Structure 1
């Protein structure tokens, strides 16, 4: 088969060949066992790197610590920017040269022995084998002689990693390039724009971040009266900043990023159009280190700095008062001199409020 035709064939069946041949090279970041913590305290996190009992260097798993979810899933923070999202996939260090040769050779032989591995599919597998064994270029990517074993210990092959929390399978599979070599201490080739970076780690820490729930203190609590100001405030403990860290640590490649969240403002939605929020837009900013003001006896008829006045009763039922706390999000990390802003995050909570008519006695 002519070289150009072979390359065209390899590309046309690339998805099939990659699926069959790479197998375990399509890595998925596993769940971790980090316990959520506050105030930037590190959580105990399962080690996601290091050698396994076969001596093969494990893929560069992301280690999470701090205020992150227990099960490795998405956290409870929603980005205020609906167009923003963490990376659906990325490239990360996978194996050293000798270990990669062992793994890849085994996968290629397994693929060759699969039923139907003839014709175009067989040709694609052959092209891939030549790429790593015979220094044969794959499209615009230089090939490797004997899997680069003469450089073992001087770098690693990088491979694709899917973000398991990305719901769109097409986006998860967007990192479809073959594993490629990166020397220790060097940046990945510029064509691999999705190679993992500290900023990407920061967004992944954001995705896994677990912040304290937003329970607003009310006075009167749970049951209020028509036209009576209901005071709302947040306990000062809520205003501690919260941090989550994501890191990759393997020989020749160590990066990390810490994402920090600080409370910014509270927005109240009374659950009915027949109510007045205070302030009028429902947004209660932080003033002197707190949101709202605790109610004290004797202020029942005063206007609170943060609160709601219901104009009609809930008729024996309840109104769903929604409180959304906005957090200011930023990150710092490897090679980053100062904090960099990320989209604000929000956490919402609903509290059921009963509103009663004020009873009066006429004599």
Structure 2
């Protein structure tokens, strides 16, 4: 193994989400993900790790050297992405990159001859999946009703409920390190309706069925509700109709995949319900 001194002391490397730099500590057996879960600014660092002996050769060629073994025991080694402008070997690419085993021992840095790896060493695919999940931008449900909520609906008249198809579509996001991309997909599956009048929540598979003009106005919806009392005594004289959509989340990567925790999105509208008045005409 060719060894040469390194200029500078920045030898501890992490895999940035942007894929601009990559490393894996050789004395760790697994990767680590540290993500700030703020949706506004998800910031993540991934340490891609591989098992190995800090004094070993990794994926390089040749012997590790016959220097002071005591120094190797205290060395801090990682795989560093180098020569990013160098073209891949014949028949390789565009995935992958040139990596060199880089070590720091007693303040002296050494680096092995770069070798081509088809993917970053020891990438934690499930960790990348969590990063991709944090990047999902899901659409809040757009509530539709018939009769329309303006100016009000009447008691004992069936109300059809559904989510606008524009907001009922799958979304995907990715996270990458050199040579590896993980994709997550979120798919809306069901809606839980909170009717606001004190009745039990209603859960419907799918977005619900839109009302069409050829439907009997008094027909009950496959996913709807009939209010039996006025909202006159409710705050602001209206019930709060809330739709909560559950999204199933799956991920896929090189030779692997799985299911992640589901996500939800919510929207709320005001539902004014009026009491119909019956007029009886007397005849003489």
TM-score range, shorter chain: 0.5 to 0.7
Candidates 299, 323, 346, aligned match of 2:243 = 323
Partner of 1:312: 229
Give 5+ residue unaligned stretches, structure 2: 1-8, 24-36, 50-69, 79-102
The TM-score with structure 1 as length reference comes to 0.48
Q: 1:134·1:144 contact (CA, 8 Å) conserved in 2?
A: no
CA deviation after TM superposition for structure 1 residue 241, in Å: 2.1
What's the secondary structure of 2:177's corresponding residue? strand
Matched, 1:282 2:212: no
Q: 1:87·1:200 contact (CA, 8 Å) conserved in 2?
A: no
Give 5+ residue unaligned stretches, structure 1: 1-21, 31-47, 51-57, 61-71, 76-85, 94-132, 156-182, 189-195
Over aligned residue pairs, what C-alpha RMSD do you find?
3.8
| CA displacement 1:80-119 (0-9 Å, x = unmatched) | xxxxxx99864148xxxxxxxxxxxxxxxxxxxxxxxxxx
CA distance in 1, matches of 2:139, 2:146: 21
The TM-score with structure 2 as length reference comes to 0.60
Q: How does 1:36-185 map to 2 (within 5 A)?
A: 48-50=18-20, 58=21, 73-74=38-39, 90-92=46-48, 134-137=71-74, 144-145=104-105, 148-151=109-112, 153-154=114-115
Q: 2:141·2:168 contact (CA, 8 Å) conserved in 1?
A: no
Q: 2:48·2:124 contact (CA, 8 Å) conserved in 1?
A: no
Partner of 1:299: 216
Partner of 1:257: 182
Candidates 169, 175, 178, aligned match of 1:246 = 175
| CA displacement 1:232-266 (0-9 Å, x = unmatched) | 122334443221111112xxxx2111001112111
Distance 1:264 1:308, change over 3 A: same
Partner of 2:58: none
RCO greater where, 1 or 2, for CA within 8 Å and sep 6 or more?
Answer: 1
What's the secondary structure of 2:226's corresponding residue? strand
CA deviation after TM superposition for structure 1 residue 187, in Å: 4.1
Candidates 125, 128, 132, aligned match of 1:201 = 128
Distance 1:137 1:150, change over 3 A: same
CA deviation after TM superposition for structure 1 residue 319, in Å: 1.4
Which of the two has greater helix per residue?
1
Partner of 2:163: 234
Q: 2:145·2:160 contact (CA, 8 Å) conserved in 1?
A: yes
Q: 1:326·1:347 contact (CA, 8 Å) conserved in 2?
A: yes
Distance 1:221 1:266, change over 3 A: same
The number of residues matched between the two structures is 208
Partner of 2:141: 214
Q: 2:170·2:187 contact (CA, 8 Å) conserved in 1?
A: yes
CA distance in 2, matches of 1:271, 1:230: 13
Partner of 2:195: 270
CA distance in 2, matches of 1:342, 1:285: 20
CA distance in 1, matches of 2:204, 2:194: 11
| CA displacement 1:287-318 (0-9 Å, x = unmatched) | xxx53232435522111001122222111622
Look at both structures and tell me which one has the larger radius of gyration over its CA atoms: 2
